[in-house]
Chain A
């Protein structure tokens, strides 16, 4: 396996001028700015092989996009070394750009008022793709992504799912070695999400494209990425498989119950506003209460989920129950709060 991305001790510090309040303050900020430094990426090392599919997760502002920008050569690192596809991004940005495809879920690179096909044709010239190769790729991509039915529709009239398929085609017409996807399934319905994921799996298997994706959707990671990297405060907290992180950190599940009104009225609450439930089995805690709704967290190892439902059902009159899987954001928060740094270099 050849390396696609090699990153060693990458750092990025931003200097941010603090603005003072008021008019005089604004003037003072210009004359004598109060500089605050922010460590956006902190000693990050990373090795990605060609053909890998990696999920990059972390809360907003964790340093994901700063990292991606440095990988693409858009942003110059404060220190550390990067090689992507054998190139040094900051020195060979334009050369590298020919090997990178990028899709930003929130923004499109397509020309809004024109038929999709026009954008796809123009991109041939932006990336200097030969006519032959472009025709071949366009044919293959429109088949895989089922673009034919809306190739002649102006982009502004496409549904979000169609637009995303169009954007994927646009990012792949020049056969990039590395595909960067920023929240590729955001806002899509279940069917559209499944379709995008299916396509990405096929792309990765057939073309061997290396895929780096950031997402808040845990299903994206689970279906697409054997490997995931968690970043927070610019540091790599975790680098490994999704299943092992679930085992180690996602073991707490949450059950939401809605009590019958009469039952709800009888509850007594403690100082924190949480109700007293007598004789709760060990390992079960009430974490939140909102009117008749209660959230209970429990460990699967201590008590199986159906046992907890049965236990509650025997003692309280319930209107509804629902299980909530741990959100990746919660898992990351727990990893961070508990100071469990897993990354080893």
Chain B
């Protein structure tokens, strides 16, 4: 069970001697809390109207939106173990081979530092003299691959916006343990501050609104990988691409090796690029076997209006959803759908996919021609260490296959069940939160957590809400769309000022001038 986002934590609380102000059995067992129960436990109560839990990019864009809608810093608290909002995200992108200088898989106008998406990243690069990027967004995706921003560009611009909106004044470091409903309305959010930071072990934040943005509930490994690790206690030769695995690339520099890659998504593309870049740059002799469970060799889909491109094993798509989920036809269609109809829409646009990029196409084409990149279709049955290698048994479309590899890099899946996260499990058990048709946290069109209303409202955004009336939740722009829906709902309740054309334009002008608000 994890307590927080997947990146290494700074505010982990090691086992400590009993300190005053800890949770009691009565608190843990009760769905609704009173002030007296907290007073009896010695837990101090801090009042703030709006609390956001997580402190990653989801919390950041929501706080950004609310600040632009005139909410003062003292009305918002960001409860987080992270040093800055992009820390967890940057950890994941870096280990999965997107360091700051590489480009993300994100649209030019998905700008978490700017709620208007204007100027877009490409326009900003253009204004700094990189006219090639402007040309790219003009002709994409017809005569160029989609433009995407450099990871570093996204992080640096978020940092600038973080200072502009005085985000750090709203941050309280620590680990959120749970959110419970308050008798009489609103919520209590229990924070465990870092050791030595507070006089008590826990602090309660009493608020009318709570926003849950804790990111991925945790890493999920396929059963064969878990079995290999528990049986052979080897964490070095069989890795998931979202774990640090630089040692594999380092070992290949010392001696030639054969690598098995599993998966057909963006991470597989990135890992292949890294292996082939190293091969080209350092003259390595790395051999690659790529295992696809589902091999896509033609355009696919239901009927002529729903054909997604595909070739050489991969399903091709610019971003992780068809683009119109972020504002157009598909967004509208899913928003209006319920139950089975929605599940069908998700299924139609689902499936692992990766973008077409010219450099990747060239590398794999060369690998196929020269024989150092081979493809297999099937599933892993078993893995076992043999000397310094890993022996992998595969059920393939050509029958059973057995091969030995220097390393296996699993590039599949990422997300664990929401119950794996302590805060979400607590919401399911004690706050009447519900699961949506795909098993994640159920939210309404305004991103309110279904069933958890209690005078105030509880909102949630990000990957834990996938499967709701808006599909692109786990993306930069998706988080901003959620922030907009949440802000609109809070505006209706009088917490924030309406963002009409006048306010929107004047606030944008402040953004342009980098004026602190």
The answer to whether A binds B is no
Task: Name A residues whose Cβ lies closer than 8 Å to a Cβ of B.
Answer: none
